Each structure stands twice: as structure tokens, then as C-alpha cells.
Amino acid sequence: MLWLVVVSVLSGTPADDPALPLALPPLDDALLTDDGDVHAFGHGRVRAVGEDGDVDFAGAGLTARVGARGAVGDVRGSVVVGDGGWWVAPTRPTTTTTTELAPTTLTLARPPLLSLVQRLSVEVPLSPLGSPGQLVLGRFPLVIADGRYIGAESFDGRGRTVDGAVVEAGVGAVVVKAGVVALDLGAGRDDDHDGRADEDAVSPFDAAGFVDAAVSVDDGVFDDVRVDAYVVAHHAAPTLSPTLGARAAIDAWGLRWQAGVDAQLALDETEGLQRTGGGLHGELRARTLLPWTLPTPRPFLEVGGEATGDVTAPAPTQHGFFGALDLVGLHDTAQLFSRVGVDDDTGFAAAVGWRVVGSLDDDGFVDPRGRALALGDGATPLARFAEIDVDLTVPVADAVDVDVGWAVAIDDVGLRAQRVLIGLQFSFGDDDGLLPPL
């Protein structure tokens, strides 16, 4: 009888009763997607690591970041909070010492204020001024050209960000990015590799002004031609380092060709901007392009070489350029490399890389933080080595990947260093490129 009563009540409701609408309003799609005025996103990684080099150790790393983006009218705001770090246990004490280099070789350290805030920015459109583009203010990741000189990649679990103002505008086919940023706000060097600035090694105010212009064209003869030129004036008292660079990429003859060049001066401001140093960087690489109609995973082959003189970089991207061991930095380094593997659109990738890296300085290499590199007992400095990298990434669920990496460095003495990494990556939401890389 109960179901009869319910049916009777529903069927007896007058069609014109104002208390009950004829139909529910359609569900707002913005409630279920990231297309609304405010949406959240995040990513993280849990990673196990084992290393054999100047110190044998095993441990784990954790990185987690969450963020949100919203808009008030045409003005958008973004915030990302989070951090990462390593927890390691040495299996034997270190037997090496390092020699500090000049302060001008400092790389970006953790900003001391609001260190958990990876991004806190406001984007103001320039369209009211008659120009397409935006003004970005606050804290944010910054990539100039390919990121070799200033990029968003970190050497540990932290994200790399800068504080300042950047204008991005389009002028025809040219996209121009210009701004002024503070690079470390007085934070010091990270000599003990704990991911935090040392209290007794505080650097001077470190800032940079830059202009970066990129143009992409397709002239019907060559496909996907892109040229990116930039100038950066990096100031770390008492040194001013102006750098002029360019990158070019072109698809031709079944290959993607990429070339780059940089020229840098070091000027001493206490001596009336007298030249105290400078150097050049050059690179060339090529990668096979296979038709998209081929079955996946698609194979690829990449080869290239580069050489860098007396050039320093305030916040360089190096892990992707010098191998998973992260042994050496940009300064006075040359290498030849090749890489072969397969990848597909689902995120699966497997590759084996080989590179020969040599120092152009009689004193040997510097590491990614600008310190003199020594391995083992230091009696046989590392001047040239071969590195082999093996990488595997397997998607196991939606926005969840497992990555495995192994890298080893060998020279005339024998095995000098190796690293094993096993990680689980996960993410949610669409960050629109706002999150720094893991």
C-alpha cells in the first residue's frame, strides 16, 4: 500500500503548482570540470633512491604540492603551496672534500620568506591597453628560452620559483616576454645538500632583468620553424653578467634539428664594469620524426653535442641535459650524447641514453650548484667520464605513473658513481602549467 500512496501523491500534484517546477534546471558543467571560475589541482611523488658515489646512501623523497586558480573579472590569481625533501641514511661516511668557487657561481636557493609558497601571482590582461598579453606579478616559475640559463627545474624535491614582474605580449607572430625578477632574496648557498640555505653563507642580493622573444612560422618548405632569442642581465654583487642567447628548431628531412648559442660577459661593478671573464655555449642535436600513423609505442633516436666555456647560470635546468646522475654543471663542460627509446601518447616511455662528458677546465668539473666536484678519495679527480642512463615510465592508472631510473658513471679508474630511482607520480586537476616540475 505504501507505493500506492507515493504514486498517488506524485500523480496528484497539479502541473501549475508554483511550489514545484516542471523540471530541474540543467546541472552546471563547471561544477564537475575545471572550466569554472575557481578550480584546484595538485601533484606529488614518492621516490626511493640509492646512490653510490662520494657517499653511499639510501633513502626516500616526498614532494607534494596543491594549488588553486580563480578569476575576478578578467584578472586571474594563482596560488600553489607545498614542498619536498629527502630523508637519507648514509651507509658509509664521506671521504671527500669540496672547494668553494666564487660567489658568482651561486645557483638559486630557497627564498627565505614564505618558503612553502611555490606560487602566489596575479595575472592582469593587457587587452584594455590595446595589446594582447598579460602582466604577471608575484612569485612564479620562470623559463627563459629552453631553460638552460634560467628554468623551473629543481635539483631536489623543492620547486624553483622567482619573485618579480613579467610582461607577456604577442606582436603578430612574435611572442615577447620581459621582466625583472629577484632570484634568491638573500638566501645562501646549499653546501650540505640538505635542500636548505646555509645560515653562514649568505649571498648578496641576486636579481635579473630579461627580454625573451620567440617566433614560430611554417613557410611551406620547412615545418615548425621556431626561433627564440633572449638577453639577460644577471646581477649578483659585485658582478654583472649580461648574456645574449638564441635557440632554433626546425623539422626537415625526417629529423627535428635544434641548435643553440649563448655569449656571456662578467663585469666587475666595483671597477667601473671592467670585464673579468666571459664565455660561449653552443649546442646541436637531432631527433628522428616518425609518422603518426605508425603503431605505438613509437621508436626514436636522438644524438647531439654541446660545449660550454666560462659561463655561469643563476638558475639552470641541467638534469635533462647532463643525465640523471646530476654530477656536473654547465660551466666549462663538453659532451656528446645519444638516446634511443620508445614512447606513446598514454605516457609510456622507455629509453637508454649514453653520453661522454669532459671538463674544459684543468681544475675539473663543477657540480650543479657551482662547487668543485670530487668523487671517492679525491686522489684521482674526475676529468672525463661516460654515463649510461636507463629510464622507464609506465602509467598504471589515470594520472598515476610509475617511473624507474638507473644511471652509472664510468671512467678510466672504473665505476665512479651510480644512482637508482623508483618513484610513484600522481596528480589531479589541470594546472595549466602552473606547477613546477617534479
> How high is the pLDDT of residue 105?
33
Q: Residue 406 above 90 pLDDT?
A: yes
**123: three-class secondary structure by DSSP:** strand
The structural domains of the chain, with segments of one domain joined by +, span 41-428
- Across 223-228, average pLDDT: 85
Highest mean pLDDT (candidates 97-101, 213-217, 256-260): 256-260
Q: How far apart are the first and last CA of the chain?
A: 62
Mean pLDDT of 207-214: 92
Per-range mean pLDDT, top range of 52-66, 138-152, 200-214: 138-152
Residue at grid coordinates 621556431: 226
Given a contact cutoff of 8 angstroms between Cβ atoms, the answer to whether 351 and 198 are in contact is no
- Residue 285: CB atoms within 10 A of its CB come to 20
The neighbouring-strand residues paired with 275 are 267
In this prediction, residue 274 carries a pLDDT of 87
**Rounded Cα gap, residues 83 and 351, in angstroms:** 29
Average pLDDT over residues 41-61: 82
Give the pLDDT band of residue 36 (cuts 50, 70, 90).
low
**Which has more pLDDT, 192 or 50?**
50
Average pLDDT, the chain: 78
| pLDDT at residue 301, rounded to an integer | 94
Confidence of residue 224 (pLDDT cuts 50, 70, 90): confident
pLDDT at 155: 55
237 within 8 A of 266, measured Cβ to Cβ: no
Tell me what pLDDT residue 228 has: 94
Of 144-148, 158-162, 428-432, the least confident: 158-162
pLDDT of residue 22: 57
Residue 108 has pLDDT above 70, yes or no: no
Q: Is the pLDDT of residue 88 over 60?
A: yes
Classify the C-alpha dihedral 329-335-341-345 as positive or negative.
positive
- What is the mean pLDDT of the segment spanning 196-219? 70
Provide the whole-model pTM. Answer: 0.77
Q: How confident is the model at residue 373 (pLDDT cuts 50, 70, 90)?
A: confident
Q: How is residue 429 written as a grid cell?
A: 586537476
Which residue is it, cell 563547471? Answer: 30
Cα 266–Cα 113–Cα 206 angle in degrees, nearest 5? 5
Predicted confidence (pLDDT) at residue 29 exceeds the cutoff of 80: no
| Choices 3.40.1010.10, 2.40.160.100, 3.40.30.10, 3.50.50.60: CATH for 41-428 | 2.40.160.100
Residue 256 Cα distances to 251, 286, 289, 304, 322, angstroms:
4, 5, 7, 12, 20
Residue 54's pLDDT band (boundaries 50, 70, 90)?
Answer: low
pLDDT for 359 beyond 70: yes
The helix (run of H) or strand (run of E) holding residue 6 is helix 2-11
pLDDT at 12 over 60: no
Q: Which position has the higher pLDDT, 363 or 18?
A: 363
Question: What pLDDT digit, counting tens, does each position of 263-319 carry?
Answer: 999 998 887 888 888 899 999 999 998 776 667 788 999 999 999 999 888 888 877
DSSP string, 228-243: EEEEEEEEETTEEEEE
Block residue for cell numbers 665505476: 415
Positive/negative CA dihedral, 145, 146, 147, 153: positive
What percent of the chain lies above the pLDDT cut of 90?
35
Say yes or no to pLDDT of 97 above 50.
no
How far apart are alpha carbons 109 and 127 in whole angstroms? 35
Residue 194 is predicted with a pLDDT of 41
For residues 210 and 366, give the distance between their C-alpha atoms in angstroms, rounded to a whole number.
Answer: 26
Residue 133, pLDDT above cutoff 60: yes
